[in-house]
Structure 1
Amino acid sequence: SIFLDEICQVDKLRDSYGDMADCCGKADPERNQCFLSFKVHQPDFIPPYQRPAADVICKEYQDERVQLLGNFVYAVARRNPFLHAPAILGLAAEYENALKSCCPESDVGACLDAKVQHVSVIKERAKHIGVKQEHGCRILEKYGERTFQASKLTRMSQKYPKAPFAELVKMVHDVKDVYKECCEGDMVECVDDWSELVTSLCSKQDVFSSKIKPCCELPVVERTKCIVEADFDDKPDNLPSLVEKYVEDKEVCKRYESNHDAFMSEFVYEYSRRHPEFSTQLILRVAKGYETLLDKCCKTDNPAECYGNAVEDLNKHIKETEDLVKTNCELFNTHGEADFLKGLLVRYTKKMPQVSTDTLLEIGKKMTAVGKKCCSLPEEKRMSCSEHYLSIVIEDMCKRQESTPINDQVSQCCNTFYSSKRPCFTAMGVDTKYVPPPFDPMMFNFDEKMCTAPPAEREEGQLKLLVNLIKRKPQMTEEQLKTIAGGFTAMMEKCCKQADVDACLGEE
């Protein structure tokens, strides 16, 4: 409130920020929510960060350390509006560590370039962490505390499989409280409470995980990032099968009905700590499937018989996800990035042809980046990686859909459970209600730029042509597409060799 009161006293607030000034007419907490709603991913009036010359940086670090680091925090924060304060301070610590080790060197610039903490890497990491933290806030805001806590309990049970259930439940509750403050923009409390949470975790590192010991020896601002990125602990040996406790036990319905949430939380904990290779979303789907089964079976005369096939039923979720990851990674690793992107563009243009060509290209590139990042990992890490990042892409798409509806099937998928969205989008077929717009020759404008433009621009132009072609004929089969692609390639090979490229393209 104090910060917002000060902002609202600024004389020319409307000149700089337009409609945001209207927020000052509201009372808290609506005023705060109003200000938060004006956050944008990449403010277009802020130029890209340019690193000063090496000698200038080092002199400023030596003479004006506080000012230099303050400017760094300012530069990162205004370019990454969704990044939480502890992450920004952690990046500033990384930046300072790079300067400390490089400034005494003879070639400071080369040292900074070679450093893992090189500024461009820090910029990328800032974007990456910002997207993840915004996604966490979105889950908390849109799906509520129960889904957020289930998601965190899943992940933390995988990461700390030796920790007792009660300790993890308390930690998850604390994480939720801290996230609420960070997401609401209270950055002072956000820093303070994260610091307390990490200190508490480090005070019980023997209970949680041996993997966080090196992190807990770091300065406070560097601990959080280290702990978040630490490896999963090894799961305990000889964990018993869950079938006996959750399927064969005659008291299952009694335990489920007497304390529904506690029962399901313990199931998520037990299942997650046994399956570090599964994605959070898959485990939540399995838990939802089990919960739905118990809701149905516990009302029957013979519940045990009703849920006797629980394992087979739940394995369907697992097989769908495993098959999808396997198929897509085989496609990516066999055919490469370019063909993978084309395949995605064909599929997603058919699913939602109403979306603009540029946005479809943006979505396709983001999904291809997921393939590139995740399919290079060891097999046991691929599912978790790919579903996590795909969920972020899909959630962003659904957020846009709220203000600009796409079609009925996208609306249906966006309104389903958080964990079910990705399978819903995967299973989505061609939009049969879509009526292609009247033919516009400009959508298929062939000129000599298609031969003379730089390779990246040519590739982009061809991808847009592909999307526009599918928009015209969403029912087109793969064979028809191959025939057209072959004809297009032959035309380009022929015409790009001619003196009058435009005439050749027009004739063809």
Structure 2
Amino acid sequence: MFAQFLQKSTFEEVQTIVKELLDFSEKCKSLKLHESPSECSYQLMTKFLDHICNNQGMADKHVFSNCCNKNNTGRHKCFLLYKKGDSGHSDIFQIPNPEPICEIVKENQVLVKERYIYETSRRHPFLYGPTILTMSTECFQIKLEPIGKYIREISLRHHHLCEIGIKFNHKVAKTVELVLLTKKQLKANFSKIAKLAIDIKNLHQTCCDGNIVACVFGRSQLMNYTCSK
């Protein structure tokens, strides 16, 4: 999540921020029944943005000073607008010799995975968190080339959906999903299709906002609901 906002920051700089906010992020992993993942994720995002704005050097480096003068909602939207699309990146994290990748992973699996997540996140700032996490596992089990192609394609789709929501309104995204679902599920009950379109729209909005915890949780709920029908 952090690297998608701090695209100019080095891997080490992002790691430092992650460690500083680790205690709070861990709380989101062990929520009680009455606690909301969305609320926890929102609080984490607020702390992250506050952290950036309290660091004048970092805010200036990423040209966020103007955003830091806004209130919470306005600040978040401002940060989103400063994300730079992935059109300038021809590929994802490159490994000089992909053949011995399994050996590299065995020696330092955590570091390689974290580096991959960092590179993919900053190069594809609109790619949804669950996709990045999934690819960080899959990329080491099959060839990197098809994974790179898939990430570029899905990243462009996520970027397009997020731009619609940021520049216009996520209700437009709901309309798009409703049309697509209606075409795919010709025999389905319209009320169910409409509900699914709203759920997907809400999920897109959550993921586009960079709330990775709520995004992961929301996608899991949506998949469970869809598969149960």
Residues in 2 aligned to 1:41 and 1:186: alpha-carbon distance in whole angstroms:
18
Counterpart AA for 2:48: F
Contact 1:13 1:21 in 2 (8 A): no
Give the Å deviation of 1:177. 1.0
Structure 2 equivalent of residue 148 of structure 1: 173
Give the Å deviation of 1:15. 5.2
Query: Could you report, residue by residue, the CA deviation over 1:227-284 in whole angstroms, capped at 9, with x for unpaired residues?
Result: xxxxxxxxxxxxxxxxxxxxxxxxxxxxxxxxxxxxxxxxxxxxxxxxxxxxxxxxxx
Structure 2 equivalent of residue 302 of structure 1: none
Query: Could you report, residue by residue, the CA deviation over 1:358-384 in whole angstroms, capped at 9, with x for unpaired residues?
Result: xxxxxxxxxxxxxxxxxxxxxxxxxxx
Q: 2:141 aligns with which of 97, 102, 108?
A: 97
Residues in 1 aligned to 2:152 and 2:225: alpha-carbon distance in whole angstroms:
28
Change (3 A) 1:90 1:45: closer
Moved more, 42-51 or 175-184: 42-51
Is residue 70 of structure 1 aligned with residue 95 of structure 2?
no
Counterpart AA for 1:3: F
Residues in 2 aligned to 1:162 and 1:48: alpha-carbon distance in whole angstroms:
40
Residues in 1 aligned to 2:196 and 2:207: alpha-carbon distance in whole angstroms:
16
Q: 2:182 aligns with which of 157, 160, 169?
A: 157
Is residue 182 of structure 1 aligned with residue 173 of structure 2?
no
Give the Å deviation of 1:143. 4.5
Query: Could you report, residue by residue, the CA deviation over 1:432-453 in whole angstroms, capped at 9, with x for unpaired residues?
Result: xxxxxxxxxxxxxxxxxxxxxx
**2:84 alignment partner, SS class:** coil
Contact 2:53 2:59 in 1 (8 A): no
Query: Could you report, residue by residue, the CA deviation over 1:281-306 in whole angstroms, capped at 9, with x for unpaired residues?
Result: xxxxxxxxxxxxxxxxxxxxxxxxxx
Structure 1 equivalent of residue 123 of structure 2: 79
Contact 2:98 2:144 in 1 (8 A): no
Give the Å deviation of 1:25. 2.1
Identity %, equivalent residues: 29
Change (3 A) 1:25 1:47: farther
Counterpart AA for 1:178: L
Structure 1 equivalent of residue 76 of structure 2: 32
* RMSD of aligned Cα (Å): 2.6
Q: 1:6 aligns with which of 42, 51, 63?
A: 51
Residues in 1 aligned to 2:90 and 2:49: alpha-carbon distance in whole angstroms:
22
Change (3 A) 1:54 1:183: closer
Residues in 1 aligned to 2:100 and 2:54: alpha-carbon distance in whole angstroms:
36
Counterpart AA for 2:194: V
Change (3 A) 1:88 1:48: closer
Q: 1:105-124 counterparts in 2 under 5 A?
A: 118-124=143-149
Residues in 2 aligned to 1:193 and 1:85: alpha-carbon distance in whole angstroms:
11
In the alignment of these two chains, the number of paired residues is 184
Contact 2:93 2:116 in 1 (8 A): no
Structure 1 equivalent of residue 93 of structure 2: 49
Runs of 5+ unmatched residues, structure 2: 1-45
Give the Å deviation of 1:79. 0.7
Q: 1:134 aligns with which of 133, 150, 159?
A: 159
Change (3 A) 1:43 1:135: closer
Counterpart AA for 1:148: A
Runs of 5+ unmatched residues, structure 1: 99-117, 205-508
Contact 2:91 2:152 in 1 (8 A): no
Residues in 2 aligned to 1:48 and 1:172: alpha-carbon distance in whole angstroms:
31
Residues in 2 aligned to 1:5 and 1:11: alpha-carbon distance in whole angstroms:
11
Residues in 2 aligned to 1:15 and 1:162: alpha-carbon distance in whole angstroms:
54
Counterpart AA for 2:205: K
Give the Å deviation of 1:35. 1.0
